[in-house]
Protein backbone atom coordinates (compact mmCIF):
# COMPACT_ATOMS: atom_id res chain seq x y z
CA UNK A 1 0.00 0.00 0.00
CA UNK A 2 1.40 3.44 -0.91
CA UNK A 3 2.44 5.87 1.77
CA UNK A 4 0.08 8.74 1.07
CA UNK A 5 0.84 12.42 1.66
CA UNK A 6 -0.93 14.52 4.26
CA UNK A 7 -1.84 18.15 3.68
CA UNK A 8 0.16 20.44 5.97
CA UNK A 9 -1.61 23.76 5.40
CA UNK A 10 -5.06 25.13 4.65
CA UNK A 11 -4.97 25.41 0.86
CA UNK A 12 -2.87 22.77 -0.96
CA UNK A 13 -5.33 19.86 -0.85
CA UNK A 14 -5.63 19.81 -4.66
CA UNK A 15 -1.90 19.27 -5.15
CA UNK A 16 -1.88 16.69 -2.35
CA UNK A 17 -4.73 14.86 -4.13
CA UNK A 18 -2.72 14.66 -7.35
CA UNK A 19 0.42 13.44 -5.53
CA UNK A 20 -1.68 10.76 -3.82
CA UNK A 21 -3.20 9.75 -7.17
CA UNK A 22 0.29 9.33 -8.60
CA UNK A 23 1.36 7.30 -5.56
CA UNK A 24 -1.71 5.09 -6.02
CA UNK A 25 -0.49 4.18 -9.52
CA UNK A 26 2.95 3.26 -8.19
CA UNK A 27 4.79 6.40 -9.30
CA UNK A 28 7.78 7.26 -7.13
CA UNK A 29 6.75 10.81 -6.21
CA UNK A 30 7.18 12.74 -2.98
CA UNK A 31 5.64 15.77 -1.33
CA UNK A 32 8.39 17.82 -3.02
CA UNK A 33 6.15 17.86 -6.12
CA UNK A 34 3.44 19.83 -4.29
CA UNK A 35 4.90 23.35 -4.75
CA UNK A 36 5.37 22.74 -8.48
CA UNK A 37 1.80 21.49 -8.82
CA UNK A 38 0.51 24.51 -6.88
CA UNK A 39 2.33 26.81 -9.27
CA UNK A 40 1.00 24.90 -12.28
CA UNK A 41 -2.57 25.11 -10.94
CA UNK A 42 -2.28 28.75 -9.79
CA UNK A 43 -3.03 27.68 -6.21
CA UNK A 44 -2.97 30.52 -3.69
CA UNK A 45 -3.41 30.78 0.05
CA UNK A 46 -6.24 33.20 -0.63
CA UNK A 47 -8.28 31.04 -3.01
CA UNK A 48 -6.86 27.51 -2.84
CA UNK A 49 -7.08 25.39 -6.01
CA UNK A 50 -9.85 25.86 -8.54
CA UNK A 51 -11.53 22.63 -9.67
CA UNK A 52 -10.97 23.21 -13.40
CA UNK A 53 -7.23 23.77 -12.77
CA UNK A 54 -7.06 20.57 -10.74
CA UNK A 55 -8.77 18.59 -13.51
CA UNK A 56 -6.38 19.91 -16.15
CA UNK A 57 -3.30 19.19 -14.00
CA UNK A 58 -4.55 15.70 -13.12
CA UNK A 59 -5.02 14.84 -16.80
CA UNK A 60 -1.55 16.23 -17.67
CA UNK A 61 0.12 14.23 -14.91
CA UNK A 62 -1.58 10.93 -15.74
CA UNK A 63 1.28 10.09 -18.17
CA UNK A 64 -0.37 6.91 -19.40
CA UNK A 65 -0.57 5.55 -15.83
CA UNK A 66 -4.30 6.20 -15.47
CA UNK A 67 -7.23 7.70 -17.31
CA UNK A 68 -9.39 10.44 -15.81
CA UNK A 69 -13.11 11.01 -16.18
CA UNK A 70 -14.75 13.99 -14.50
CA UNK A 71 -18.27 13.75 -13.11
CA UNK A 72 -20.05 16.99 -12.21
CA UNK A 73 -22.97 15.08 -10.68
CA UNK A 74 -21.35 12.30 -8.72
CA UNK A 75 -23.14 10.07 -6.28
CA UNK A 76 -22.13 7.66 -3.56
CA UNK A 77 -23.46 4.79 -5.67
CA UNK A 78 -21.23 5.72 -8.64
CA UNK A 79 -18.19 6.20 -6.42
CA UNK A 80 -18.71 2.85 -4.72
CA UNK A 81 -19.10 1.01 -8.04
CA UNK A 82 -15.85 2.51 -9.34
CA UNK A 83 -13.98 1.61 -6.16
CA UNK A 84 -15.28 -1.96 -6.25
CA UNK A 85 -13.64 -2.30 -9.68
CA UNK A 86 -10.29 -1.61 -7.94
CA UNK A 87 -10.06 1.99 -9.08
CA UNK A 88 -9.91 5.30 -7.18
CA UNK A 89 -11.75 8.62 -7.01
CA UNK A 90 -10.56 12.16 -6.31
CA UNK A 91 -13.55 13.99 -4.84
CA UNK A 92 -14.28 17.63 -4.00
CA UNK A 93 -16.68 18.47 -1.19
CA UNK A 94 -17.45 21.43 1.05
CA UNK A 95 -18.23 21.89 4.71
CA UNK A 96 -20.95 24.51 4.27
CA UNK A 97 -21.54 26.78 7.21
CA UNK A 98 -18.13 26.18 8.74
CA UNK A 99 -16.14 29.38 9.20
CA UNK A 100 -12.81 27.60 8.72
CA UNK A 101 -13.89 26.73 5.15
CA UNK A 102 -13.96 30.33 4.00
CA UNK A 103 -11.12 31.72 1.95
CA UNK A 104 -9.55 35.08 2.72
CA UNK A 105 -12.34 36.84 0.75
CA UNK A 106 -15.03 35.16 2.83
CA UNK A 107 -16.05 32.80 0.00
CA UNK A 108 -16.73 29.13 0.75
CA UNK A 109 -14.25 26.68 -0.65
CA UNK A 110 -13.99 22.95 -0.86
CA UNK A 111 -11.64 20.18 0.06
CA UNK A 112 -10.13 17.58 -2.28
CA UNK A 113 -9.73 14.05 -0.89
CA UNK A 114 -8.56 10.85 -2.56
CA UNK A 115 -10.75 7.76 -2.02
CA UNK A 116 -8.95 4.46 -2.59
CA UNK A 117 -11.32 1.69 -1.46
CA UNK A 118 -14.61 0.68 0.08
CA UNK A 119 -15.05 -2.04 2.68
CA UNK A 120 -16.69 -5.30 1.71
CA UNK A 121 -19.77 -4.32 3.72
CA UNK A 122 -19.88 -0.88 2.07
CA UNK A 123 -20.04 0.81 5.46
CA UNK A 124 -16.59 2.47 5.34
CA UNK A 125 -14.33 4.10 2.76
CA UNK A 126 -10.54 4.45 2.88
CA UNK A 127 -9.63 8.07 2.18
CA UNK A 128 -6.28 9.82 1.82
CA UNK A 129 -6.06 13.42 3.05
CA UNK A 130 -9.56 13.44 4.52
CA UNK A 131 -10.57 16.62 6.31
CA UNK A 132 -13.43 16.72 8.76
CA UNK A 133 -15.28 19.66 10.27
CA UNK A 134 -13.12 19.51 13.37
CA UNK A 135 -10.01 20.11 11.21
CA UNK A 136 -8.74 16.60 11.93
CA UNK A 137 -6.18 15.74 9.28
CA UNK A 138 -4.30 12.55 8.58
CA UNK A 139 -2.73 10.94 5.55
CA UNK A 140 -5.10 7.94 5.54
CA UNK A 141 -8.22 7.02 7.41
CA UNK A 142 -11.47 5.12 7.19
CA UNK A 143 -14.64 7.18 7.13
CA UNK A 144 -18.19 5.95 7.53
CA UNK A 145 -20.59 5.73 4.64
CA UNK A 146 -23.02 8.24 6.16
CA UNK A 147 -20.18 10.76 6.61
CA UNK A 148 -19.19 10.58 2.94
CA UNK A 149 -22.87 10.65 1.93
CA UNK A 150 -23.40 13.83 3.95
CA UNK A 151 -20.41 15.51 2.28
CA UNK A 152 -21.73 14.59 -1.16
CA UNK A 153 -25.20 15.98 -0.41
CA UNK A 154 -23.97 19.54 -0.03
CA UNK A 155 -24.71 21.25 -3.35
CA UNK A 156 -23.15 24.69 -3.30
CA UNK A 157 -22.46 26.55 -6.53
CA UNK A 158 -18.92 27.76 -7.15
CA UNK A 159 -18.88 29.74 -10.37
CA UNK A 160 -19.48 27.37 -13.28
CA UNK A 161 -18.98 24.28 -11.09
CA UNK A 162 -21.34 22.67 -8.66
CA UNK A 163 -20.07 20.29 -6.03
CA UNK A 164 -19.78 17.49 -5.27
CA UNK A 165 -17.34 16.82 -8.08
CA UNK A 166 -15.41 13.66 -8.73
CA UNK A 167 -12.61 12.58 -11.00
CA UNK A 168 -12.74 8.83 -11.58
CA UNK A 169 -9.27 7.35 -12.05
CA UNK A 170 -8.79 4.08 -13.88
CA UNK A 171 -5.35 2.45 -13.91
CA UNK A 172 -4.06 1.65 -17.37
CA UNK A 173 -2.92 -1.94 -17.94
CA UNK A 174 0.74 -2.42 -17.02
CA UNK A 175 1.70 -3.37 -20.58
CA UNK A 176 0.21 -0.08 -21.85
CA UNK A 177 2.35 2.04 -19.52
pLDDT of residue 52: 87
- Residue 159 pLDDT greater than 50, yes or no: no
**pLDDT band at 120; cut points 50, 70, 90:** very high
Asked whether residue 159 is domain-assigned, the answer is yes
Return the percentage of the chain with pLDDT > 70, whole number: 79
Asked whether residue 118 is domain-assigned, the answer is yes
Number of domains forming the structure of the chain: 1
**15-40-96 Cα angle (round to 5):** 45
- Residue 124 pLDDT greater than 70, yes or no: yes
Asked whether residue 35 is domain-assigned, the answer is yes
Asked whether residue 137 is domain-assigned, the answer is yes
Q: What is the CATH number of the domain that holds 96?
A: 3.90.70.10
Domain span including residue 171: 13-176
- Residue 161 pLDDT greater than 50, yes or no: no
Q: Which residue has the higher pLDDT, 140 or 168?
A: 168
pLDDT of residue 89: 97
Which helix or strand (DSSP H or E) is residue 40 part of? helix 34-40
> What residues have CB less than 8 Å from 10, skipping those under 6 apart?
45, 48, 100
pLDDT tens, residue by residue, 67-107? 999 998 888 999 999 999 999 999 988 755 444 455 555 55
Asked whether residue 2 is domain-assigned, the answer is no
Q: Which pTM was predicted?
A: 0.85
pLDDT of residue 162: 55
Mean per-residue pLDDT of the chain: 83
CA 46 to CA 103: how far, in whole Å?
A: 6
**Contact predicate 101/63, CB 8 Å:** no
Asked whether residue 104 is domain-assigned, the answer is yes
Asked whether residue 25 is domain-assigned, the answer is yes
**Across 17-43, average pLDDT:** 95
Asked whether residue 3 is domain-assigned, the answer is no
pLDDT of residue 73: 84
What are the strands, taking DSSP E only, across 38-86? Answer: 66-71
Amino acid sequence: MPRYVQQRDEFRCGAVGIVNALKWTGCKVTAKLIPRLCEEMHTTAQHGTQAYELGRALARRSCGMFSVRRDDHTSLRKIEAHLRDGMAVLVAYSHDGQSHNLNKDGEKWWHFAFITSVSESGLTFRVANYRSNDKKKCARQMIRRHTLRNHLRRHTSYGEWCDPLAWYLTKCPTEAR
